[in-house]
Amino acid sequence: MSAASPVIERGTAASRIAGFGVAIIILLLAVAPQFLSAGAVDRMTALFIYVILAAMWNALAGFGGLVSVGQQVFFGLGAYFAIRLANAGLNPFVSLFVSAVIVGAVSWPISLFMLRLRNGEFAIGMWVIAALTHLLVNLDRLIQGETGTSLISLNVYDASTRRVAIYWLALASMTALLAVLFGLLRGSTGAAIRAIRDNEDAAASIGVRVTGTKRLLFVLAAFGIGVAGALWLATAITFQPKTYFSVQWTAYMIFMVLVGGIGTFEGAILGALLFFIIETWFGGTGVWYLIGLGATALVFSLLLPRGLWGTLEERFGWRLLPVGYRVRLPVNASVTTGGTAPPAQVTTSREKA
């Protein structure tokens, strides 16, 4: 009996076309402000921020297995440090990204003790860190407790110029962060991240630097969410701690990733787009909007646990932005003992790190 060899693949014709399509979409988005209304520009800026949030939480939880309900700490700190830097005299646009760098730096010592925790302990521990940080920020006299303050220095710019500049900054930030994350997950570090997620002890036994790899992912996610927080401040101008340190931001991240497809690169982007559409249509309904989000997340968890993209990938083999390898295993290979070969060859596939 002769057996065909399994085929290991990652890039496909569909993924190459998708990569070209992504480049075209980004170019179109870059010139879109010339044709969009002021309101549409603001909404698209919000979409870019949502994509960043979803991608960062998905990287941490979906690929790294570090489920957190306290990522709002980095969102709030991104906005807080931007306020502080601008108040010290730094250009407000520059302060947006310097603040994100500071958030990444602050996340490193936090990771020293938080990454010692696992599973539920890590999730709750991050929520405690967020609550404590919220209280500390309230003590800052510049913030004036829950009264908050504003990024006043942005008001020196013309409203339309400021709006378009923030739009481009958000688009550039989203593109850069997705590109960095995509490159990281496609490399050896990405394979190590997924190995740690699947079995941390087994990963360590084959030489994976577990703590260092988890810390890298933790800091990257913190930096990305810090960028999102600073950009949100730029669009809203005002800063109130209870708004930026609210657990609803992490709830939004979880919703987008669960609906789109946890552990898939495309799923986070799709989930952010769906959340954006739902918010645009139903955001004005108040508490019913939040109830609807919770009910939708529950339905997806029960009926489509892999999310929309995960389900499509499983059923149809769609892989537009693959970060791992897939092994195609031939089944019912031709038999050479006098029988005839089957009329068609059936293949199965499995995604591997």
Question: What is the three-state SS of 249-282?
Answer: HHHHHHHHHHHHCCCCHHHHHHHHHHHHHHHHHH
**Alpha-carbon distance 164 to 48, whole Å?**
13
Closest to 85 measured CA to CA, from 76, 98, 73: 98
- Is residue 182 within 8 Å of 189, Cβ to Cβ? no
How confident is the model at residue 326, as a pLDDT?
A: 66
Cα 15 to Cα 11: distance, rounded to the nearest angstrom: 6
For all residues of the chain together, what is the average pLDDT?
85
- Per-10-residue mean pLDDT for the chain, 353 residues long? 61 76 92 90 95 95 91 96 92 94 96 89 93 93 85 85 93 95 88 88 87 93 96 93 92 92 90 91 78 82 83 78 68 45 39 46
Q: Are 67 and 126 in contact (CB under 8 A)?
A: no
pLDDT at 341: 39
Q: CA 167 to CA 195: how far, in whole Å?
A: 37
pLDDT at 243: 92
Give pLDDT, residue 301: 79
pLDDT (0 to 100) of residue 327: 66
Q: Phi, psi at residue 349, to the nearest 5°?
A: -135, 155
Q: Where are the alpha helices (DSSP H) in the chain?
A: 13-31, 38-57, 72-87, 92-114, 119-138, 159-186, 188-198, 200-205, 210-236, 241-244, 248-260, 265-282, 287-303, 307-316
Where do the domains of the chain lie, and which CATH numbers do they carry? Answer: 28-319 (1.10.3470)
Distance between CA atoms of residues 303 and 22, nearest Å? 30
* Sequence-ordered list of residues with C-beta below 8 angstroms from that of 52, at least 6 positions apart, any chain: 173, 174, 177, 224, 225, 227, 228, 231
Q: List 352's β-bridge partners, or say none.
A: 325
